[in-house]
């Protein structure tokens, strides 16, 4: 190996110079940026003031790991980080006076009830009652909160999970609920939906003759699965799990022949469910895209990782006749994790409150933070529309939980299929005149240009300015396995008795999960990474992706992608396994479990040959943020590249936990590069440090 890791010691002076001039003066919350005025800050600084059980303390400087250890030793529990330089603390029985001074903070004050209410609840304020979700701080006594709530008038209470309660109340009463110390956040209840793009029956291509096979049916061809297969990578030895409407008959003995050898166990998790059969059809299609063997089509239509093993969960509720599960991500992810799954794919989400980092995004982030080898994918959503009628799909339509930081959010690009499924122009689809009524969108079709982004694919960024989606994969007119359940729908139409067409970010996501399984097998077998972290899988998939710039309408006024990657339409581009499975040999993979602390850095060197481009990708699983925070990034580490001439390239990104620095061939100097990972501010590290993954290579 020609790289070495050098850690430099923490340096307070550097730390101080790196911190923002305004650090520690504003609380960045969803409710707005709150200046910590003397009026707010004075609340817990007066002698004799009583200290609430949960409060915020804000420091003048980034709060160190050592300071937090001292706080814990004095009887405080650190519950959350809030930007800037603030912690939410639980006071475990210290009847303190002049609290701020005592703990060295510049201010300490209670959490205001209005900061705990999702802005949409306040916006939609009416006198009528509605059901909302109340999230409690970690370690709260749920029973005591439930009793407190039951004592309020006109409130109905339902216990959901270890940390969440559903409540029916008026907005006025919600302020009372929010005033309870243990309550962290109140938001809308989700409406979970499968993320296949909804069409009407009349949209379906009714060509009667079955189309001749072209090899593009499954969507895998455009992603380089054929090349990966030739090199021996099929997802073999990998275990994957999914949550969806169920799979086919839900019985391993009678399952679809394409799925029977690879699906070995299922989990019924829907409310009131005892089975994991698929009465809808969506989950069976998704499952086939990941692991379908193609047994019923002589291998013509098969999933990308057909030698992996699949453990599906059904979150379909027979009582609700829809997706409904306890919304407890521990219950969703823990069983397959315990049974060996390291990749979990999700083709569902909530199309409400688009772009928001909500309680569910935070819960998913928490699970991955606690289980950093569990790689979770979520479909970005199908809320892409051109509302302002400028011929370009609008931004800001990512659904939760795809807004989470520690997942891979997958958008849909176009497949290449001229017959079958949906072949109508966008403007003629259901509501197409309203959503896509302006050229070039109007007369374009869904699967005629693989360099295009599916018109419906949800676009980033998130409300707090993070780049989403991170990646795209084909998600239009994808052919995959058909559920044999008598009630199952035909999605985008039947291909034959065994397969159906479908489209949506729902279809792009399992294909990307299959790519993650191939990537995982490749990293284990060829790169010598025994157990790749979720961050390394993300970095590797993103690093090798293909930029689709300028998109399907060429350059000029109608250009689809306004700038090269990363952009909020394609993220870092389309999954490219042909590229990924030839990385070893000229690529450095680092999966640092130790990580970097605030003010420290790690460094490697990389020798670039002349005529080549340079690319470095940094990804990390960040600590979960409070849904009340106005900026979801907690631990901020930076990628810095020093070219042979000494020129420094750094993005100074304080929003994303994924960064790429690319220097194109022709612009890159040959010679020794230094690649530095800097711990800028790590308030919630693992023992004070933020683990990370780094992939560095030359490019063509
Ligand atoms: Ca537009
Ligand atoms: Ca098109
Ligand atoms: Ca950063």
Closest CA to 120 of 206, 186, 55: 186
Give the residue from 112, 64, 70, 72 showing the smallest Cα distance to 91: 72
**Ligand 2 centroid from CA 436, angstroms:** 12
446 CA to middle of ligand 2, Å? 5
Alpha-carbon gap, residue 360 to 350, rounded angstroms = 10
Give me the pLDDT at residue 327, please. Answer: 82
Domain assignment of residue 573, yes or no: no
The ligand placed nearest to the CA atom of residue 454 is 2
Does residue 23 form part of some domain?
A: no
Q: Is 567 within the bounds of a domain? A: no
Ligand nearest to the CA of 620: 3
Q: Is residue 197 one of the residues assigned to a domain?
A: no
Cα 631 to ligand 3 centroid, rounded to whole Å: 13
> What are the E-state strand segments in 300-418?
309-314, 316-317, 322-323, 343-346, 348-349, 375-379, 408-413
Residues with CB under 5 A from ligand 2 (ion): 444, 448-449, 452
Q: Are residues 263 and 372 in the same domain?
A: yes
Q: Which of the ligands is closest to the CA of residue 397?
A: 1
What is the distance in A from the centroid of ligand 1 to the CA of 198?
21
Q: Domain total for the chain?
A: 4
Tokens coding 159: 């216990």
* Residue 11 pLDDT: 27
Same domain membership, residue 363 and residue 233: yes
Ligand nearest to the CA of 417: 2
Strand, coil or helix: 601: strand
**∠ CA 70-72-77 to the nearest 5 degrees?**
145
Three-state DSSP string of 264-283: CCCEECCCCCCCCCCCCCHH
Cα 417 to ligand 2 centre (Å) = 11
Give 615 Cα–ligand 2 centroid separation in angstroms: 30
Distance (angstroms) between ligand 1 centre and the Cα of 385 equals 7
Residue that the structure tokens 């009340």 belong to: 628
Cα 248 to ligand 1 centre (Å):
39
Ligand 3 center to residue 576 CA distance, Å? 26
Question: Is 572 a member of any domain?
Answer: no
Closest CA to 262 of 273, 247, 277: 247
333 & 424 share domain: yes
- Kindly state whether residues 239 and 124 are assigned to the same domain: no
Q: Which ligand is nearest the CA of 661, by number? A: 3
> What distance in angstroms lies between residue 442's CA and the mean position of ligand 2's atoms?
10
What's the 422 CA to ligand 2 centre distance in angstroms?
A: 12
Indicate if 434 and 318 belong to the same structural domain: yes
CA of 551 to the centre of ligand 2 (A): 10
Ligand 2 centre from 439 Cα, in Å? 12
Say how many Å lie between the CA of residue 219 and the centre of ligand 1.
27
Q: 273 and 395: one domain?
A: yes
| Closest C-alpha among 609, 367, 375, 394 to residue 471 | 375
For residue 654, which ligand has an atom nearest its CA?
3
Nearest listed ligand to the Cα of residue 437: 1
Measured in angstroms, how far is the CA atom of residue 263 from the centroid of ligand 3? 40
Q: Closest ligand to 680 CA?
A: 3
For residue 187, the CA-to-ligand 1 centroid distance in Å is 28
Distance (angstroms) between ligand 2 centre and the Cα of 553 equals 9
Whether residue 279 sits in one domain with residue 184: no
Residue 605's CATH number: 2.60.120.380
For residues 612 and 672, the answer to whether their CB atoms sit within 8 Å is no
CA contacts within 13 A on the Cβ side of 342: 23
644's CB contacts (< 8 A; 6+ apart) are 608, 669, 670, 671, 672, 673
Residue 191 · residue 132 · CB < 8 Å: no
Distance 654 CA to ligand 3 centre (A): 4
Residues 409 and 459 in one domain: yes
> Ligand nearest 622 Cα, by number?
3
Distance separating alpha carbons of residues 86 and 305, to the nearest angstrom? 45
Beta strands 316-317 and 156-159, pairing class: unpaired
- Consecutive 10-residue runs of the chain (700 residues): their mean pLDDT? 31 30 75 79 58 87 93 92 95 67 83 93 81 94 92 86 87 93 94 94 82 95 98 98 98 97 96 96 98 98 98 96 90 97 98 94 98 98 98 98 98 97 96 97 98 98 98 98 97 96 98 99 97 98 98 96 98 98 96 97 98 98 98 98 98 98 96 98 97 95
How many angstroms is it from 666 CA to the middle of ligand 3?
27
pLDDT score at 94 = 65
Examine residue 578 and state whether it is found in any structural domain, yes or no: no
Ligand nearest to the CA of 459: 1
Q: How many A from CA of 449 to the centre of ligand 2? A: 5
Could you tell me which residues come within 8 angstroms of residue 473 by beta carbon, excluding any fewer than 6 positions away? Answer: 219, 223, 410, 412, 413, 508, 509, 511, 512, 515, 574, 575
User: Domain containing 141: what range?
Assistant: 116-188
Kindly state whether residues 468 and 385 are assigned to the same domain: yes
- Closest of 693, 671, 664, 690 to residue 679, by C-alpha: 690
CATH number of domain containing 131: 3.30.70
Q: Please tell me whether residues 260 and 124 are part of one structural domain.
A: no
| Cα 448 to ligand 2 centre (Å) | 5
Cα of 413 from ligand 2 centre, angstroms: 9
Integer Cα distance of 514 and 568 in angstroms: 23
Distance 441 CA to ligand 2 centre (A): 8
Total count of residues recorded for the chain: 700
Q: How far is the CA of 409 from the centre of ligand 1 (A)?
A: 22
Position 553 in a domain: no
* Contact of 162 with 330, CB cutoff 8 Å: yes
What per-residue confidence (pLDDT) applies to 44? 62
Residue 158 C-alpha to ligand 1 middle, in angstroms? 41
What's the pLDDT at 4? 32
Q: How confident is the model at residue 588, as a pLDDT? A: 98
Query: 387: CA distance to ligand 1 center in Å?
Result: 6
Q: State the distance from the centre of ligand 3 to the C-alpha of 585, rounded, in angstroms.
A: 28
Q: Are 274 and 152 in a shared domain? A: no
Considering 543, 561, 593, which residue would you say is the last residue of a domain? Answer: 543
- Quick one: which H or E segment has residue 538? helix 534-543
91 SS3 class: strand
> What's the CA-to-centroid distance between 693 and ligand 3, angstroms?
13
For residue 226, count other CB atoms closer than 10 A to its CB.
12
The 10 Å Cβ neighbour count of residue 676 is 19
**285 alpha carbon – ligand 2 mean position (Å):** 23
Ligand 3 center to residue 472 CA distance, Å? Answer: 23
Residue 193 lies inside a defined structural domain of this protein? no
Domain boundary among 492, 509, 543: 543
CATH number of the domain residue 501 falls in: 3.40.50.200
Among all bound ligands, the one having the nearest atom to the CA of 395 is 1
Take residue 306 and report the two structure tokens written for it: 């057909």
Helices (H) and strands (E) in the chain, counts: 15, 31
CA of 415 to the centre of ligand 2 (A): 9
Residues 130 and 93 in one domain: no
Task: Identify the domain boundary among 543, 574, 600.
Answer: 543
Phi, psi of 499 (to 5 degrees): -135, 150
């Amino acid at each position: 190996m020609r790289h070495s890791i050098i850690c430099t010691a923490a340096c307070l002076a550097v730390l101080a110079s790196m911190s923002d001039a305004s650090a520690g003066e504003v609380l960045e919350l969803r409710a707005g940026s709150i200046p910590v005025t003397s009026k707010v800050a004075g609340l817990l600084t007066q002698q004799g003031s009583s200290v609430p059980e949960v409060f915020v303390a804000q420091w003048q400087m980034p709060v160190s790991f050592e300071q937090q250890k001292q706080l814990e030793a004095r009887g405080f529990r650190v519950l959350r980080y809030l930007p800037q330089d603030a912690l939410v603390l639980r006071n475990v029985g210290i009847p303190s006076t002049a609290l701020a001074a005592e703990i060295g903070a510049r201010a300490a004050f209670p959490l205001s009830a209005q900061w705990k209410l999702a802005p949409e609840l306040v916006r939609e304020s009416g006198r009528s009652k509605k059901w909302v979700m109340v999230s409690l701080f970690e370690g709260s006594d749920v029973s005591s909160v439930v009793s407190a709530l039951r004592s309020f008038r006109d409130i109905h209470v339902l216990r959901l999970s270890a940390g969440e309660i559903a409540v029916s109340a008026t907005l006025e009463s919600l302020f009372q609920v929010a005033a309870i110390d243990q309550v962290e956040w109140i938001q809308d209840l989700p409406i979970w939906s499968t993320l296949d793009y909804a069409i009407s029956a009349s949209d379906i291509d009714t060509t009667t003759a079955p189309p001749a096979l072209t090899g593009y049916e499954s969507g895998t061809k455009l992603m380089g699965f054929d090349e990966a297969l030739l090199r021996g990578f099929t997802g073999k030895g990998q275990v994957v799990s999914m949550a969806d409407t169920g799979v086919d008959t839900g019985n391993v003995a009678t399952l679809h022949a394409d799925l029977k050898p690879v699906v070995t166990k299922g989990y019924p998790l829907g409310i009131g469910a005892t089975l994991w059969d698929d009465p809808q059809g969506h989950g069976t299609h998704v499952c086939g895209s990941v692991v379908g063997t193609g047994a019923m089509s002589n291998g013509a239509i098969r999933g990308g990782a057909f030698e992996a093993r699949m453990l599906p969960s059904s979150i379909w509720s027979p009582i609700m006749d829809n997706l409904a599960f306890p919304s407890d991500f521990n219950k969703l992810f823990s069983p397959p994790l315990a049974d060996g799954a390291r990749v979990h794919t999700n083709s569902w989400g909530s199309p409400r409150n688009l772009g928001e980092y909500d309680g569910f995004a935070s819960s998913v982030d928490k699970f991955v933070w606690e289980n950093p080898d569990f790689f979770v994918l979520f479909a970005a959503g199908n809320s892409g529309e051109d509302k302002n009628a400028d011929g370009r799909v609008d931004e800001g339509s990512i659904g939760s939980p795809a807004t989470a930081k520690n997942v891979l959010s997958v958008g849909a690009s176009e497949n290449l299929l001229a017959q079958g499924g949906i072949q109508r122009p966008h403007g003629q689809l259901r509501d197409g005149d309203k959503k896509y009524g302006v050229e070039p969108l109007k007369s374009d079709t869904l699967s005629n240009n693989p360099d295009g982004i599916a018109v419906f694919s949800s676009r980033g960024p998130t409300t707090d300015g993070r780049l989403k989606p991170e990646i795209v994969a084909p998600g239009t007119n994808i052919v995959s396995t058909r559920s044999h359940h008598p009630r199952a729908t035909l999605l985008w139409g039947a291909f034959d008795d065994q397969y159906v067409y479908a489209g949506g970010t729902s279809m792009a996501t399992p294909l990307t999960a299959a790519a993650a399984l191939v990537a995982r097998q490749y990293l284990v077998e060829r790169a010598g990474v025994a157990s790749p972290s979720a961050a390394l899988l993300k970095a590797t998939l993103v690093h090798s992706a293909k930029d689709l710039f300028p998109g399907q309408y060429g350059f000029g006024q109608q250009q689809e992608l306004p700038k090269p990657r990363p952009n909020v339409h394609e993220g870092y581009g389309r999954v490219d396994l042909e590229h990924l499975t030839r990385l070893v040999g000229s690529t450095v993979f680092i999966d640092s479990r130790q990580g970097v602390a605030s003010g420290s850095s790690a460094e490697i060197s990389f020798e670039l040959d002349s005529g080549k481009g340079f690319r470095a990708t940094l990804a990390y699983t960040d600590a979960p943020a409070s849904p009340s925070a106005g900026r979801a990034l907690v631990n901020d580490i930076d990628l810095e590249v020093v070219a042979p001439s000494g020129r420094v390239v750094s993005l100074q990104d304080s929003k994303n936990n994924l960064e790429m620095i690319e220097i194109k061939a022709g612009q890159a100097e040959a010679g020794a590069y230094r690649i530095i990972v800097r711990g800028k501010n790590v308030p919630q590290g693992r023992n004070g440090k933020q683990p990370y993954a780094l992939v560095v290579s030359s490019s063509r």
